[in-house]
Amino acid sequence: MAVGADRIDNQVDDQNDRRAELAERLAAVRARIAAACVAAGRSPDEVALLAVTKTVPAADVALLLDLGVTALGENRVQEAAAKVREVARLRPDAAPRWHVVGGLQRNKAREVVRWADRVESVDSERLADALDRAVRREQETGRRAGPLPVLVQFSVDGDPERGGVPRSGLLQLAEHVATCAGLQLDGLMAVAPLGADPDAAFAEVESAADLLRSEFPQARTLSAGMSGDLEAAVRHGSVVVRVGTALVGERPITSR
Ligand SMILES: *Cc1c(COP(=O)(O)O)cnc(C)c1O
């Protein structure tokens, strides 16, 4: 009995410690974003934080929601579906927005459109078609009203591992997405190549985003910048930074 009570006390202590740690990290990330905006002559409320919670347990996600995070990014679709349900159970009133930020297989489209509020990693016409079909099926059965907002993923260096469409294919992909009734083209997402100078990379990203906007004025969103390079992305017009490690730490706790 006493041992059980001790264990519960320890769990409560752990939870409080983790909450304090996440609060501190979140404040630091928000301060970095604000400082980057000021340095770039931009208003801090122009840049939104997308908390990337891949590998992070639902309990931690719930704490992030308690701390005021409203948008969550996942790149492991298989892991995400169960987490989305678990977070909804833990925080039924929170209604966070879930964004898919990583490589997505076409055979996962049907599942993803059930919970995703935005897919940021559309990098092929075939993936766009699969999402479009899945959305329209959800619409026909009354489970979804509007189209699915998407970003096209741009590749700075054409590395197929990281995904994304090179500049030469960007407008053709965007035109295709724009013809998909189930999809709404909101903008562009990019990941800077590993080891590259982030300013040079994000200058190319910004230029690609300008090109996209010149043909599709409604595609205003630029999702760029992560834990290691958000300042450079903010200097180059990003309006969404996707932050994982700086928020949740190097080794997310998976035992809860
Ligand atoms: C993991 C991931 C992030 C977050 O990266 P951190 O370096 O952990 O901040 C952002 N975008 C994508 C596409 C990711 O897969």
pLDDT of residue 159: 82
Looking from the CA of residue 242, the nearest atom of ligand 1 is 10
pLDDT class of 255 with cuts at 50, 70, 90: very low
Q: What is the mean pLDDT of the chain?
A: 94
Nearest CA to 181 out of 121, 223, 138 is that of 138
Q: Work out which ligand 1 atom sits closest to the CA atom of 120.
A: 13
Determine the pLDDT at residue 7: 76
Q: Where residue 50 falls among pLDDT bands split at 50, 70, 90?
A: very high
Out of 49, 69, 75, give the residue to mutate to test ligand 1, the one with the largest number of ligand atoms within 8 Å of its CB: 75
- Average pLDDT rounded to a whole number, residues 125-137: 98
Q: In total, how many domains does the chain have?
A: 1
| pLDDT 10s digits, 60-107 | 999 999 999 999 999 988 889 999 999 999 999 999 999 999 889 999
E strands, the chain, are: 48-52, 71-74, 97-100, 118-122, 148-154, 183-190, 221-224, 240-243
Residue at 253 is within a domain: no
Mean pLDDT is lowest, of 14-18, 80-84, 90-94, 190-194, for 14-18
Rounded Cα–Cα distance for residues 109 and 211 (Å): 28
Q: Which is nearest to 73 in space by CA: 59, 89, 85, 84?
A: 84
The CATH number assigned to the domain holding 122 equals 3.20.20.10
Sign of CA dihedral 189, 195, 199, 200: negative
3-state DSSP call for residue 26? helix
Q: What is the pLDDT of residue 54?
A: 92
Q: For 143-187, write each residue's pLDDT tens digit.
A: 999 999 999 999 999 887 789 999 999 999 999 999 999 999 999
Residue 65 counted as domain residue = yes
Q: Ligand 1 mean position to 242 CA, how many Å?
A: 6
Expressed as residue numbers, the domain containing 89 is 2-248
Handedness of CA 66, 151, 221, 224 (dihedral sign): positive
255 occurs within a structural domain: no
Atom of ligand 1 nearest to the CA of 101: 13
Global confidence as pTM: 0.94
Tell me, using a 6 A CB cutoff, whether residue 83 lines ligand 1. Answer: no
For residue 28, the model assigns a pLDDT of 98
Residue 256 lies inside a defined structural domain of this protein: no
**Does a structural domain hold residue 41?**
yes
User: Residue 118: CB within 6 Å of ligand 1?
Assistant: no
